[in-house]
């Protein structure tokens, strides 16, 4: 008789990789998906069906757990609550996207179904190290869940909860998926949108960070996306220069023509390998970028067409969240930039004169 595993598949990246690993380990996969009236329920169900087809799953279940929405208390099911954007790991409390005891509910149901299907294992794609801080994604929680399932099922039945990804980072999971030809383009992570991923909720940020750190491109569509670049190719440098020129002409009236051309020529031809960049895209169009070196922001420019759309604020939040940014230097005459950086938490008034003869102000995070 084939050994069987019940795989909880949300339609997301992690649970999908788990299911493929279960099949690789010789388990016959029984797939389980939960509808709980989450915002992206239709998209997640569609992904689940595509994943099952690709995996060759013969038996699958889609169970209605819409009572979770009735319980409420989370932004995934309550549309009166706002999905947090660009706030990953900004505080130590569970975010409003945490669905109270969701994995406890799912595993309780999975325990019942696993016994009925005579499954030796339950695979679930929880991650402890690299998640949004959910309490039901820890090793200790999974251990206790296994204990209560085995305590509450038949004496002649025992099941193991297997969490092969629990200690991995997102980039490790993505690299593993690439190595094993797991089609991550069939998966969905966004908390809010079903047609194009928002690129700014916790789940999108974790996914994009993982792809960036793995030096891979995510194939799903995004309405907003910040891409981390350690090196610019010719087209990226050209796009950077275009944004810089538009932004400077609109805001840097204190910059004389001679120095404008010198800086432009520098950006066009200089070796920028000491800098790293964050490129911000809206609807696949580059609208702004941030350049940094070590712990200091060297440049931040936004296409004037996208001023007052919080593009700069999103880039700063991304830089502060993912990198050890502590400082920025701003032209003394650039009053709007100074005001912006102070709003973002930078303080200071130390001045010095740069190579072009302009007075710069040094600002540091408090």
For residues 84 and 54, membership in a common domain is answered with yes
Both structure tokens of 210: 């993982």
Pairing of strands 121-123, 160-162: parallel
Q: Residue 226 CA to chain centroid, in angstroms?
A: 10
234-251 vs 257-269: helix axis angle to the nearest 10? 160
For residues 60 and 154, membership in a common domain is answered with yes
Model-wide pTM > 0.85: yes
- Count CB atoms within 10 A of the CB of residue 325: 19
Contact status, residue 321 vs residue 88, Cβ threshold 8 Å? yes
Cα separation, 200 vs 88, in Å, equals: 9
Which domain-ending residue is among 222, 247, 269?
Answer: 222
Average pLDDT over all residues of the chain? 94
Q: Which residue has the tokens 């060759």?
A: 56
Q: Is the pLDDT of residue 90 over 70?
A: no
Residues 19, 20, 25, 28, CA torsion sign: positive
Cα separation, 45 vs 166, in Å, equals: 24
Q: What is the pLDDT of residues 232-251, one digit of tens each?
A: 999 999 999 999 999 999 99
Which band of pLDDT confidence, cut at 50, 70 and 90, is reported for residue 130? low
Cα separation, 76 vs 36, in Å, equals: 9
**Please, which residues bridge with residue 344 across strands?**
none
For residues 245 and 298, membership in a common domain is answered with yes
Residue 52: the pLDDT is 98
For residues 237 and 320, membership in a common domain is answered with yes
Q: Is the pLDDT of residue 20 over 90?
A: yes
Q: What are phi and psi of 74, to 5 degrees?
A: -150, 155
Lowest mean pLDDT, pick from 6-15, 101-110, 314-323: 314-323
Range of the domain at 125: 4-222
- DSSP letter at 290? E
Residue 2: the pLDDT is 84
Which domain-ending residue is among 178, 199, 222?
Answer: 222
Residues 335, 340, 343, 345, CA torsion sign: negative
For residues 332 and 285, membership in a common domain is answered with yes
Residues 6+ apart with CB under 8 A from 140: none
Q: What is the pLDDT of residues 313-350, one digit of tens each?
A: 999 999 998 898 999 999 999 999 999 999 999 999 89
Q: Is the pLDDT of residue 210 over 80?
A: yes
Q: What is the pLDDT of residues 147-188, one digit of tens each?
A: 999 999 999 999 999 999 999 999 999 999 999 999 999 999
Dihedral angle of Cα 303, 304, 309, 313, to the nearest 10 degrees:
60
Contact status, residue 108 vs residue 129, Cβ threshold 8 Å? no
For residues 249 and 340, membership in a common domain is answered with yes
For residues 183 and 138, membership in a common domain is answered with yes
Cα separation, 128 vs 140, in Å, equals: 10
Q: How many domains, in total, are found in the chain?
A: 2
The pLDDT > 90 percentage for the chain reads 87
Q: Is the pLDDT of residue 56 over 70?
A: yes
For residues 267 and 202, membership in a common domain is answered with no
Residue 357: the pLDDT is 85
Residue 86: the pLDDT is 86
Q: What is the pLDDT of residues 254-283, one digit of tens each?
A: 888 998 999 999 899 998 999 999 999 998
CATH label of the domain that carries residue 15:
3.40.50.620
Q: Each residue of 196-234: b (16+ CB within 10 Å) or e?
A: ebbbbbbbbbbbbbbbbbbeeebebebbbbbbbbeebee
Residue 1: the pLDDT is 62
For residues 8 and 108, membership in a common domain is answered with yes
Average pLDDT over every residue of 91-105: 89
The pLDDT > 70 percentage for the chain reads 98
Q: Which residue has the tokens 């799912």?
A: 106
Which domain-ending residue is among 222, 256, 281?
Answer: 222
Q: Is the pLDDT of residue 93 over 80?
A: no
Best CA proximity match to 282, nearest among 199, 220, 208, 211: 199
For residues 27 and 148, membership in a common domain is answered with yes
Helices (H) and strands (E) in the chain, counts: 11, 12
CATH label of the domain that carries residue 328:
3.40.630.30
Residue 260: the pLDDT is 92
Average pLDDT over every residue of 353-364: 90
Cα separation, 346 vs 362, in Å, equals: 9
Residue 259: the pLDDT is 87
For residues 217 and 234, membership in a common domain is answered with no
Residues 6+ apart with CB under 8 A from 12: 44, 47, 125, 187, 188, 189, 203
For residues 153 and 262, membership in a common domain is answered with no
Both structure tokens of 215: 């030096």
Q: Is the pLDDT of residue 358 over 90?
A: no
Cα separation, 285 vs 281, in Å, equals: 5
**Please, which residues bridge with residue 346 across strands?**
365
Q: Which residue has the tokens 């569509």?
A: 221
Which band of pLDDT confidence, cut at 50, 70 and 90, is reported for residue 88? confident
């Amino acid at each position: 008789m084939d050994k069987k595993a019940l795989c909880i598949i949300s339609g997301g990246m992690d649970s999908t990789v788990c299911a493929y690993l279960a099949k690789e380990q010789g388990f016959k996969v029984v797939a389980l998906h939960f509808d709980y009236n989450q915002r992206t329920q239709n998209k997640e169900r569609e992904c689940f069906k595509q994943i099952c087809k690709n995996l060759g799953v013969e038996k699958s279940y889609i169970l209605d757990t819409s009572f979770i929405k009735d319980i409420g208390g989370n932004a995934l099911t309550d549309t009166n609550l706002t999905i947090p954007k660009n706030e990953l790991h900004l505080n130590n409390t569970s975010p409003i996207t945490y669905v109270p005891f969701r994995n406890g509910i799912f595993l309780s149901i999975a325990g019942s179904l696993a016994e009925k299907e005579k499954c030796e294992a339950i695979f679930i794609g929880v991650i402890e190290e690299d998640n949004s801080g959910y309490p039901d994604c820890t090793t200790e929680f999974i251990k206790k869940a296994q204990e209560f399932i085995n305590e509450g099922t038949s004496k002649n039945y025992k099941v193991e909860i297997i969490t092969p990804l629990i200690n991995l980072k997102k980039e490790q999971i993505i690299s593993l998926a690439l190595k094993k030809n797991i089609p991550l383009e069939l998966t969905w992570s966004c908390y809010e949108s079903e047609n194009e991923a928002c690129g700014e909720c916790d789940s999108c940020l974790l996914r994009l960070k993982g792809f960036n750190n793995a030096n891979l491109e995510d194939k799903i569509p995004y309405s907003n996306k910040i891409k981390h670049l350690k090196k610019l190719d010719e087209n990226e440098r050209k796009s950077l220069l275009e944004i810089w020129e538009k932004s400077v002409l609109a805001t840097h009236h204190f910059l004389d023509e001679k120095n404008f051309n010198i800086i432009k020529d520098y950006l066009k031809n200089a070796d920028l390998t000491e800098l790293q960049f964050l490129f911000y895209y809206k609807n696949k169009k580059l609208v702004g970028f941030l350049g940094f070196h070590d712990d200091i922001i060297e440049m931040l420019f936004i296409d004037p067409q996208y001023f007052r759309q919080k593009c700069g604020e999103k880039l700063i939040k991304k830089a502060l969240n993912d990198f050890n940014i502590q400082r920025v230097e701003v032209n003394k005459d650039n009053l709007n930039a100074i005001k912006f950086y102070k709003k973002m938490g930078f303080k200071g008034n130390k001045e010095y004169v740069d190579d072009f003869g302009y007075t710069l102000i040094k600002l540091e995070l408090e």
